């Protein structure tokens, strides 16, 4: 049964709180533990790639597991304690222990001078470094003298993991939903993404019969998407008819839709059709320079039909990639609404038939089928009657429901209601 919005809001917050503190990265225990929690919402298979394995142009890196990290100043104060905020440790930092001068230490500190109260999120996946991220306000007050630095992390052979869940449908044509889970404690970018994806999974799974197959993946960003494509890209290229990258869906800002590279894919047409009824939507053309894993799915060799419905997009909010992208910044109500909007995308895809009128020559006699008032008089046409005429004329087997809705400017749900009535009466068929 489909959960109510109220119930969904609660559930989202509950899972958010449980996931918040886990020390995630592109590999390691934090990522795996997070997947295990999400498994409660979305049962899935875990796919593993071993350190050193080639995935297209990339190589799976060592697995990283942080244990402890801080530094102690000449004032005896403990700074940048990883156990308090996991953003303090440079993601993928190597181990280090020793005493260094303030000058030397500063070479390993990352701050945001323009946002002095924010801890930045910084990574160094593909080059070995050690370092800390702290507030710039704190950085400026560090006293002169020697600092004892302690970073204890494991970096060694292991694996990269990703989750895959598939809901089978009547056909093997597929819709892909993708999100990522490699960021430590940040809210809009990223915990909102996998939470909406997993909730959407639950909604779609509650539908007893589906026309299409739905594939859900949660990966470490970039390298995870590339790894998945290295084994499933060919399949996706053959089967995917639509899909969306789910990210930045947590705040209560206006919706943003980023088009797929094809710009008029089924994903884009569904989004255009549904979003035109919503105020203040921002549209962004496909942009390979800024984005998430849609950049991989839309790389030229694949060019998959993957768009992205977001709230406030990465790079369009100041808190992006800092400690200020936290629970205060997001809204579980908005997150639930976004989930239901994605669910409407699903509904339209399912109902987007190429209907065909069985009476192609002249209009059908509707009176005899009790489909139309037998009294002919001056009156306004009801929305449903209006929908009937548009469908009868345009259901020629070449126009899908979205096209008819776009041409007629009639809501797809009204058209679909009438199409199903006409189908029951034997006036419409489909292949």
Dist. CA 32–CA 47, nearest whole Å: 11
Distance CA 184, CA 33 (A): 12
Say how far residue 303 (Cα) sits from the centre of its chain.
18
- What is the Cα gyration radius of the chain? 26
Query: What's the closest the beta carbon of residue 7 comes to a second copy, in angstroms?
Result: 35
Question: Residue 208 or residue 362: which is nearer to a second copy going by CB?
Answer: 362
Q: Is 57 in the site for a second copy (CB under 8 A)?
A: yes
Q: Is residue 226 involved in binding a second copy (CB under 8 A)?
A: yes
Smallest gap, in angstroms, from Cβ of residue 195 to a second copy?
Answer: 22
Nearest to a second copy of 185, 338 (CB atom): 185
Residue whose CB is less far from a second copy, 298 or 335: 298
Which has the closest alpha carbon to 226: 368, 57, 92, 98?
Answer: 57
**Bridge partners of residue 100, in order along the sequence:** 147
Q: Which is nearer to a second copy, 277 or 374 (CB)?
A: 374
Q: How far is the CB of 298 from a second copy (least distance, A)?
A: 7
CB of 59 to a second copy, least distance (A): 8
CA distance 105 to 143: 12
What CA–CA distance (Å, rounded) separates 409 from 415?
A: 10
Q: In 10 A of CB 6, how many CB atoms? A: 10
Within a 10 A sphere around the Cβ of 294, how many other Cβ atoms?
Answer: 26
Contact pattern from residue 78 through residue 117 relative to a second copy, giving x for each residue in contact according to CB under 8 A and a dash for the rest: --------------------------------x-x-----
| Least Å from the CB of residue 123 to a second copy | 4
Query: Shortest gap between Cβ of 276 and a second copy (angstroms)?
Result: 17
Q: Given the rule CB under 8 A, which of 42-50, 153-161, 246-254, 317-325 is the region that contacts a second copy?
A: 317-325
| Spatial distance between the Cα atoms of 286 and 261, rounded to a whole number of angstroms | 5
Q: Which of 24, 364, 405, 412 binds a second copy (CB under 8 A)?
A: 364
Q: Which residues of 31-44 are buried (b: 16+ CB within 10 A; e: fewer)?
A: bbebbeebeebbeb
Which residue is associated with the tokens 């494509």? 229
φ/ψ (deg, to 5) at 20: -50, -50
Q: Which is nearer to a second copy, 132 or 346 (CB)?
A: 132
- Which residue's CB is nearer to a second copy, number 348 or number 427? 427
20 binds a second copy (CB under 8 A): no
State the pairing for strand pair 306-310/256-258. Answer: antiparallel
Determine which residue in the list 20, 96, 148, 302 makes contact with a second copy, applying CB under 8 A. Answer: 302
Answer for which of 65, 262, 326, 393 binds a second copy (CB under 8 A) is 393
1 binds a second copy (CB under 8 A): no
> Closest distance between a second copy and the C-beta of residue 28, in Å?
16
Q: Per-residue contact track with a second copy, 235 to 274, x per CB under 8 A?
A: --------------------------x-------------
Residue 3 sits in the site that holds a second copy (CB under 8 A): no
User: Residue 276: CB partners within 8 Å, gap ≥ 6?
Assistant: none
Structure tokens at 377: 């008089």
Q: Is 102 helix (H, G, I), strand (E, B) or coil?
A: helix
396 touches a second copy by CB under 8 A: yes
Q: Could you tell me which of 366, 356, 360 has the C-alpha nearest to residue 430?
A: 356
Stretch that binds a second copy, among 149-157, 197-205, 244-252, 379-387 (CB under 8 A): 379-387
Pick the piece of the chain touching a second copy (CB under 8 A) from 79-87, 267-275, 346-354, 363-371: 363-371
What residues have CB less than 8 Å from 262, skipping those under 6 apart? 268, 303, 305
Question: Which of 32, 135, 258, 295: binder of a second copy (CB under 8 A)?
Answer: 295
Phi, psi of 146 (to 5 degrees): -100, 145
Listed ranges 16-24, 169-177, 195-203, 380-388: which one lies at the site for a second copy (CB under 8 A) = 380-388
| Phi, psi angle pair for 96, to nearest 5° | -160, 140
Q: If binding is defined by CB under 8 A, does position 222 make contact with a second copy?
A: yes
CB 266 within 8 A of CB 173: no
Interaction site with a second copy (CB under 8 A): 55-59, 110, 112, 120-127, 129, 222, 225-226, 229-230, 233, 261, 288-290, 295-296, 298-303, 320-322, 357, 359-365, 367-368, 374-378, 381, 385-386, 388-390, 392-396, 408
């Amino acid at each position: 049964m489909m959960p109510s919005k109220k119930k969904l809001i609660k559930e989202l917050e509950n899972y958010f709180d449980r996931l918040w503190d886990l020390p995630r990265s592109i590999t390691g225990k934090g990522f795996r533990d997070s997947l295990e929690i999400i498994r409660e919402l979305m049962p899935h298979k875990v796919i593993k790639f071993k350190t050193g394995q080639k995935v297209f142009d990339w190589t799976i890196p060592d697995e990283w597991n942080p244990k402890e990290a801080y530094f102690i100043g000449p004032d005896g104060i403990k700074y940048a304690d990883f156990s308090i905020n996991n953003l303090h440790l440079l993601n993928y930092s190597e181990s280090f222990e020793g005493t260094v001068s303030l000058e030397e230490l500063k070479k390993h500190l990352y701050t945001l001078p323009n946002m002095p109260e924010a801890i930045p999120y910084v990574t160094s996946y593909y080059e070995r470094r050690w370092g800390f991220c702290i507030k710039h306000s704190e950085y400026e007050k560090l006293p002169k003298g020697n600092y004892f630095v302690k970073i204890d992390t494991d970096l060694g052979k292991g694996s990269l993991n990703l989750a895959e869940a598939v809901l089978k449908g009547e056909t093997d044509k597929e819709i892909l939903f993708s999100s990522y889970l490699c960021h430590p404690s940040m809210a809009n970018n990223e915990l909102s993404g996998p939470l909406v994806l997993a909730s959407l999974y639950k909604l779609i799974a509650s539908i007893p019969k589906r026309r299409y197959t739905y594939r859900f993946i949660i990966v470490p960003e970039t390298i995870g998407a590339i790894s998945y494509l290295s084994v499933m890209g060919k399949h996706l290229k053959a089967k995917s008819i639509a899909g969306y990258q789910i990210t930045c869906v947590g705040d209560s800002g206006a919706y943003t839709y980023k088009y797929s590279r094809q710009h008029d894919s089924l994903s884009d047409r569904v989004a255009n059709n549904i979003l035109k009824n919503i105020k203040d939507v921002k549209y962004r053309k496909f942009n390979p320079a800024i984005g998430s894993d849609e950049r991989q799915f839309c790389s030229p060799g694949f060019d998959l039909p993957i768009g992205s419905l977001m709230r406030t997009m990465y790079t369009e909010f100041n808190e992006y990639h800092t400690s200020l992208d936290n629970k205060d910044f997001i809204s579980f109500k908005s997150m639930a609404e976004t989930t239901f909007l994605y669910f409407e995308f699903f509904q339209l895809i399912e109902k987007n038939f190429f209907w065909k009128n069985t009476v192609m020559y002249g209009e059908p006699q509707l009176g005899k089928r009790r489909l139309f008032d037998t009294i002919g008089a001056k009156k306004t046409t009801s929305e449903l009657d209006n929908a009937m005429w548009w469908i009868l004329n345009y259901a020629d087997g070449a126009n899908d429901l979205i096209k008819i809705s776009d041409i007629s400017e009639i809501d797809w749900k009204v058209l679909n209601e009438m199409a199903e009535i006409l189908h029951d009466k034997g006036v419409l068929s489909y292949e």
